[in-house]
């Protein structure tokens, strides 16, 4: 009995010993897996030929696997027979603790290194650049390269002065002429805490780009503005932006230079690493991207730009990019995986009509309209430019120039050309009218205003108002009527006037019969639009009817009155577009009274002086205002 109890006690001790050894082995395996990661642990065990030992049932095999892993010795085939397992495990536990301590120290050091690098990144980057420059200069500089450097420095010192147009660009709000309303609207839209993208409409040379720059400068100082003091203003001409189907170059959005065809940097190309090249949308981050003539951009490129505007980031792709490649610099990995910030405000300028701009752009943008300049504005611009350039001009110079141009840029060109002519005689003299006319003749310029109002009424002659771009001008219409030769009269008019004019003539014939009780077919009528130009839109309908009526009934028409409006077959005057510009154009031509559709009253410009603007609903309301002696 005593022997049995003693034997049982020894078996219990041996079992407890076995359990204690297995727990220590399991704990070590778990620690190693935690240290290297599951994948790293398996790879290390495979490399050291320990996979089968780990999965073995013999406890000594598992200890041998631990020894291989910790001592990194794949040649071990058995444990040392003279050393017991407890002693071996003690040593292996010490090795494991040392590995943990080393890893913890490396992590702490890596963290401190990263913090130091982030704190002194710019300094390190500058030092590296200087080192590279010094290294290259020591390896590649020679007499020929030094000579080329000297030539470049000489060119820097001997360049031309700033152009006159650059000097004449307004630097302050007070220097902007004729665009007070547009500039205020632009400043208001940028100074808000929630600015939207903007499209600027207007004729060329009226200051759209200049106003955008000034508005940003003012918005930077506004209390509610989101723009920083260093917010960039990136300017590009939309006519130069074209979509590259190969996507090898894209100055607007950016592109990727692959290591084979597009020529990535040498150190990247040698490693087969693609190099992203950032575009203007990234340069404009935090500021303004100004695209002049945005309506001229490729539609596909416009769609790409819209995507960037929505995402506020630009993304790059390349078949050469391998995210698992450790040789790829971190900044390139970040660009390909996360994209590049492109949070900017777009200001697009165009000389096109709003209907010609992509609806997708218009739906995302606020709209600001710039006004055509009046002759008074042109004269003021000429006077200011002469003062800023130190040019003496005769009093009538500004008035003469205003007759040949609609915008400030063209006015300054004439002024500078005339000033150059005065310099050719050997001394600085005053710019006289003869110099201006000579400059105008040399440039083959025609008067901007071709038709002018007069005080003498005429039969069969009336002024309509047309619109070309953003500039309104008079359209001279004339009609002559004779009793019909034969059973049915004929109506003749310009074939080049367009289909809209044909419809307007047909409507006028119907209204004539309705108003007068007999058909226009009793007459041979010839209607002529002087100049033969195409008339877009139906806005000349009312003028055509009044010219025909004047010719048939021999009623003189006042020549200081102009009319714009579509004529319906019921005799109603229907609304038309471009009323603002048409009124300004009529005013420039000396018109004293303008008749417009009643529905266009909201389009009447505020503050226009020297011209009466009368809205009418029906063509009969025009008779006492157009025909001399009627209703007076």
* Range 451-482 burial, b when 16+ CB lie within 10 A, else e: bebeeebebbbbbbbbbeebbbbbbbbbbbbe
Distances (CA, A) of 96 to 34, 42, 72, 103, 334: 11, 17, 12, 11, 36
Distances (CA, A) of 491 to 250, 511, 527: 56, 15, 8
Is there a catalytic annotation at residue 225? no
Give which of 210, 203, 114 is closest to 168, Cα–Cα: 210
Contact between residue 45 and residue 33 where contact means Cβ atoms under 8 Å apart: no
Give which of 79, 96, 76 is closest to 88, Cα–Cα: 79
Classify 593 as helix, strand or coil: strand
Place of tokens 């020549």: 559
Residue of 68, 189, 304, 582 marked active site: 582
Is there a catalytic annotation at residue 318? no
- Which tokens hold the place of 468? 């070309």
* Cα 372 to Cα 204: distance, rounded to the nearest angstrom: 9
* Cα 542 to Cα 501: distance, rounded to the nearest angstrom: 11
* Cα 562 to Cα 576: distance, rounded to the nearest angstrom: 14
Residue of 225, 402, 539, 550 marked active site: 539
Residues 6 or more apart whose CB falls under 8 angstroms from that of 584 comprise: 371, 372, 374, 472, 605, 608
* Cα 348 to Cα 241: distance, rounded to the nearest angstrom: 13
Q: Which helix (H) or strand (E) holds 10?
A: helix 2-36
- Going across the sheet that includes 471-483, the strands are 491-492, 523-529, 471-483, 461-468, 561-563, 593-597, 612-616
Q: In sequence order, what are the beta bridge partners of 200?
A: 349, 368
Active site residues: 539, 582
């Amino acid at each position: 009995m005593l022997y049995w109890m003693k034997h049982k006690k020894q078996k219990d001790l041996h079992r407890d010993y076995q359990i204690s050894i297995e727990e220590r082995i399991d704990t070590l395996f778990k620690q190693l897996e935690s240290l290297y990661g599951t994948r790293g642990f398996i790879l290390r065990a495979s490399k050291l030929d320990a996979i089968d030992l780990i999965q073995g049932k013999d406890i000594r095999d598992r200890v041998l696997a631990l020894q291989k892993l910790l001592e990194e010795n794949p040649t071990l085939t058995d444990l040392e027979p003279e050393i017991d397992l407890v002693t071996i495990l003690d040593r292996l536990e010490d090795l494991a603790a040392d590995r943990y301590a080393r890893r913890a120290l490396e992590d702490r050091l890596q963290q401190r290194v990263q913090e130091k690098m982030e704190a002194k990144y710019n300094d390190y980057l500058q030092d590296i650049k200087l080192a590279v420059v010094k290294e290259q200069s020591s390896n590649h500089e020679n007499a020929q390269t030094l000579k080329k450097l000297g030539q470049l420095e000489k060119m820097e010192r001997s360049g031309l002065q700033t152009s006159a147009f650059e000097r004449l660009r307004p630097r302050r709000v007070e220097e902007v002429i004729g665009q007070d309303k547009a500039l205020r609207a632009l400043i208001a839209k940028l100074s808000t805490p929630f600015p939207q993208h903007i499209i600027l409409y207007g004729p060329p040379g009226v200051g759209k780009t200049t106003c955008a720059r000034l508005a940003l400068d003012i918005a930077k100082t506004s209390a509610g503005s989101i723009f920083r003091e260093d917010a960039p203003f990136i300017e590009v001409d939309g006519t130069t932006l074209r979509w590259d189907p190969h996507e090898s170059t894209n100055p607007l959005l950016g592109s990727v230079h692959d290591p084979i065809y597009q020529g990535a940097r040498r150190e990247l190309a040698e490693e087969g690493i693609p190099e992203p090249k950032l575009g203007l949308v990234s340069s404009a981050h935090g500021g303004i991207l100004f695209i002049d003539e945005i309506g001229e951009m490729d539609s596909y490129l416009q769609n790409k730009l819209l995507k960037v505007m929505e995402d506020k980031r630009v993304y790059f792709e390349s078949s050469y990019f391998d995210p698992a490649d450790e040789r790829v610099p971190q900044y390139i990995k970040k660009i390909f995986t996360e994209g590049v910030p492109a949070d900017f405000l777009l200001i697009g300028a165009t000389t096109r009509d709003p209907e010609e701009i992509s609806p997708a752009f218009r739906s995302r943008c606020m709209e600001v309209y710039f006004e055509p300049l009046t002759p008074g504005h042109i004269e003021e611009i000429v006077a200011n430019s002469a003062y800023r350039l130190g040019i003496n001009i005769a009093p009538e110079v500004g008035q003469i120039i205003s007759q040949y141009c609609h915008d400030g840029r063209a006015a300054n060109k004439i002024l500078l050309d005339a000033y150059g002519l005065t310099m050719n005689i050997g001394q600085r003299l005053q710019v006289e009218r003869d110099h201006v006319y000579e400059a105008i003749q040399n440039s083959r310029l025609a008067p901007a205003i071709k038709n002018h109002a007069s005080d003498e009424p005429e039969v069969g002659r009336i002024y309509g108002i047309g619109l070309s771009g953003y500039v309104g001008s008079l359209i001279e219409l004339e009609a002559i009527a004779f009793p019909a030769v034969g059973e049915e009269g004929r109506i003749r008019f310009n074939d080049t006037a367009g289909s809209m004019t044909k419809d307007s003539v047909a409507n006028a014939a119907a209204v004539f019969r309705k108003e007068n009780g007999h058909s226009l077919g009793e007459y041979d009528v010839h209607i002529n639009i002087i100049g033969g130009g195409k008339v877009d839109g139906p806005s000349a309908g009312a003028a055509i009817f009044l010219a025909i009526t004047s010719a048939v009934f021999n009623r003189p028409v006042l020549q200081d009155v102009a009319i714009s409006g579509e004529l319906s077959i019921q005799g109603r005057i229907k609304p038309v577009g471009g009323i603002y510009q048409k009124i300004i154009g009529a005013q420039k031509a000396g018109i004293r009274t303008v008749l417009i559709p009643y529905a266009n009253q909201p389009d009447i410009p505020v503050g226009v002086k020297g011209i009466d603007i009368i809205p009418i609903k029906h063509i009969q309301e025009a008779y006492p205002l157009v025909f001399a002696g009627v209703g007076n």
